[in-house]
Amino acid sequence: MGTKTDGRAVLHVVTDPRRRGSQAFAHDLDAALRDRGRPSAIVALAGAGEMDIPVLGPGRLHPRTLRALRRRAAGADVVIAHGSTTLDACGIALAGTRTPFVYVNIGDPRHWARDALRRARVGLMLRRAAAIASVSPSGREILLRTYRLDPARVRAIPNGRRPERFTPAEVADRAKARAQLGLPVDATVLAVVGALAAEKRVALAIEAFALVAAPDPAGGRVPGYHLLVAGEGPERAALEGLAERRTPGLVTFTGNLADLGPVYRASDALVLSSTSEGVPGVLVEAGMAAIPAAATDVGFVRDVVVDGLTGALADAGAGAGDPRALAAAIRRVLTHRDAMGRAARARCVERHAMETVVDAWVALLDEQPR
3-state SS assignment for residue 251:
strand
How confident is residue 49, by pLDDT bands cut at 50, 70 and 90?
A: confident
Residue 223, pLDDT > 80, answer no
List CB contacts of 232: < 8 A, sequence separation 6 or more: 195, 196, 255, 256
Asked if 337 contacts 271 with a C-beta cutoff of 8 angstroms, the reply is: no
Distance CA(260)–CA(230), nearest Å, equals: 8
How many residues are there in the chain?
370
Distance CA(90)–CA(110), nearest Å, equals: 21
DSSP 55-68: B--SSTT-HHHHHH
Asked if 285 contacts 166 with a C-beta cutoff of 8 angstroms, the reply is: yes
Higher confidence at residue 277 or residue 6? Answer: 277
Q: Residue range 129-153: average pLDDT?
A: 95
Residues of each domain in the chain carrying CATH 3.40.50.2000 = 10-160+353-366, 163-351
Distance CA(45)–CA(26), nearest Å, equals: 13
CATH topology of domain 10-160+353-366: Rossmann fold (3.40.50)
Distance CA(209)–CA(246), nearest Å, equals: 9
3-state SS assignment for residue 140:
helix
Mean pLDDT of the chain: 92
Residue 322, pLDDT > 80, answer yes
CATH superfamily of 163-351: Glycogen Phosphorylase B; (3.40.50.2000)
Highest mean pLDDT among 2-6, 108-112, 158-162, 284-288 belongs to 284-288
Share of the chain above pLDDT 90, in %: 82
In the chain, the amino acid numbered 274 is: S
State the virtual CA torsion across 112, 204, 286, 157 in degrees, nearest 10. Answer: -10
DSSP 33-52: HHHTT--EEEEESS---SS-
Q: Residue range 115-129: average pLDDT?
A: 91
Largest CA distance in the chain: 72
List CB contacts of 352: < 8 A, sequence separation 6 or more: 158, 159, 160, 161, 284, 287, 288, 304
Per-residue confidence (pLDDT) for residue 151, from 0 to 100? 97
